[in-house]
C-alpha cells in the first residue's frame, strides 16, 4: 500500500517506518528514514525518535552517530526525551564524554536525565564521578538512590552501599521494595564481617513492613 503512494509525505513515511520497526523489520525502517533524510525531508521528533530507536535495535552506533550529526547540522531541535535517549546510548557504548556533553546541553534537566547520566558513570566504574553528579542533583527520586546503591553493590563496595542507605534514611526519602532487595543483598555480604550492621538493617526493614 505504501509503495502505491506517488509522493509520500513525512507523515506517511514516519508511519511506515514505525510499522517496520515494531514488526521486527528495523533495517527496512532505517532505510526508509535515511531515504527521507537524503531526499530533503525535515524530520520531526517522531521520525527522529523512531530513527534513534531503530539504530539501537540494530546496534549500529556509526549510523546512530551519522543521524545525530545530520540532526546537529540541520539545526533540528531535539526534546528532553530524545536527548536522554542519546545520553543512554552513548553511555552504553562507553562514549561517556559524548554522553556528558549532551547532558550539559540540556537546558532544563529532569530527574530521568540525571539518573541516566549517573547510571552510565557508575555502570562503567567511575564511582567518584557518579557520586559527584549524584550530589549535584536537586530533585532526587528513590530511583536515583537505588541507582547509586546498586552500583556500589555491583562493584563490591557493600559498605558504601549501606552507608548511602543510611544517608537515604536521614534525607527522609522512603525506600521501596527494590531498595530493600539491594540493601539486604549488601547486608548479607557484610553480615559475617559486621553483625551489628546486619541486625540494624534487618530491624529497620522490619519496621518498614509494619508501617
Q: CA-to-CA distance for 161 and 198, rounded, in angstroms?
A: 13
Q: Give the pLDDT score at 3.
A: 53
Question: What mean pLDDT, rounded, does the chain reach?
Answer: 81
Q: CA-to-CA distance for 183 and 169, rounded, in angstroms?
A: 12
How sure is the predictor about 117, in pLDDT bands with cuts at 50, 70 and 90?
very high
pTM: 0.75
Distance of CA 54 to the CA centre of its chain: 16
∠ CA 105-107-112, nearest 5°, is 90
**Least confident segment among 32-41, 179-188, 196-205:** 196-205
Q: Give the pLDDT score at 210.
A: 47
pLDDT greater than 70 at residue 205: no
Q: Mean pLDDT over residues 96-123, rounded? A: 92
Q: Which residues of 139-173 are buried (b: 16+ CB within 10 A; e: fewer)?
A: ebeebbbbbbbbbbbeeebbebbbebbeebeeeee
How sure is the predictor about 2, in pLDDT bands with cuts at 50, 70 and 90?
low
pLDDT, one tens digit per residue, over 134-180 is: 999 988 899 999 999 999 998 889 889 888 988 998 898 888 888 88
Q: Mean pLDDT over residues 118-145, rounded? A: 92
pLDDT, one tens digit per residue, over 10-60 is: 788 888 888 887 778 878 888 888 788 777 777 777 787 788 778 777 777
Q: Mean pLDDT over residues 79-91, rounded? A: 86
How sure is the predictor about 8, in pLDDT bands with cuts at 50, 70 and 90?
confident
**Cα-based distances in Å from 119 to 45, 163, 209:** 25, 19, 28
pLDDT greater than 50 at residue 67: yes
Q: Mean pLDDT over residues 180-198, rounded? A: 70
pLDDT greater than 90 at residue 130: yes
Q: Give the pLDDT score at 33.
A: 81
Q: Give the pLDDT score at 97.
A: 92
Amino acid at each position: 500500500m505504501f509503495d502505491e503512494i506517488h509522493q509520500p509525505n513525512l507523515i506517511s513515511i514516519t508511519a511506515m517506518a514505525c510499522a517496520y520497526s515494531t514488526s521486527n523489520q528495523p533495517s527496512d525502517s532505517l532505510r526508509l528514514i535515511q531515504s527521507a533524510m537524503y531526499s530533503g525531508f525535515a524530520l520531526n521528533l517522531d521520525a527522529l525518535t523512531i530513527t534513534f530507536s531503530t539504530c539501537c535495535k540494530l546496534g549500529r552506533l556509526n549510523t546512530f552517530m551519522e543521524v545525530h550529526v545530520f540532526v546537529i547540522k540541520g539545526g533540528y531541535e531535539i526534546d528532553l526525551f530524545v536527548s536522554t535517549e542519546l545520553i543512554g546510548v552513548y553511555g552504553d557504548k562507553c562514549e561517556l564524554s559524548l554522553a556528558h556533553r549532551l547532558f550539559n546541553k540540556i537546558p532544563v534537566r529532569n530527574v530521568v536525565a540525571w539518573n541516566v547520566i549517573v547510571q552510565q558513570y557508575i555502570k562503567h566504574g567511575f564511582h567518584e564521578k557518579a557520586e559527584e553528579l549524584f550530589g549535584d542533583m536537586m530533585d532526587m527520586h528513590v530511583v536515583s538512590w537505588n541507582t547509586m546503591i546498586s552500583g556500589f553493590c555491583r562493584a563490591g563496595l557493600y559498605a558504601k552501599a549501606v552507608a548511602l542507605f543510611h544517608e537515604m534514611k536521614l534525607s527522609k526519602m522512603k525506600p521501596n521494595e527494590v531498595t530493600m532487595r539491594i540493601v539486604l543483598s549488601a547486608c548479607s555480604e557484610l553480615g559475617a564481617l559486621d553483625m551489628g550492621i546486619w541486625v540494624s538493617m534487618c530491624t529497620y526493614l522490619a519496621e518498614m513492613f509494619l508501617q
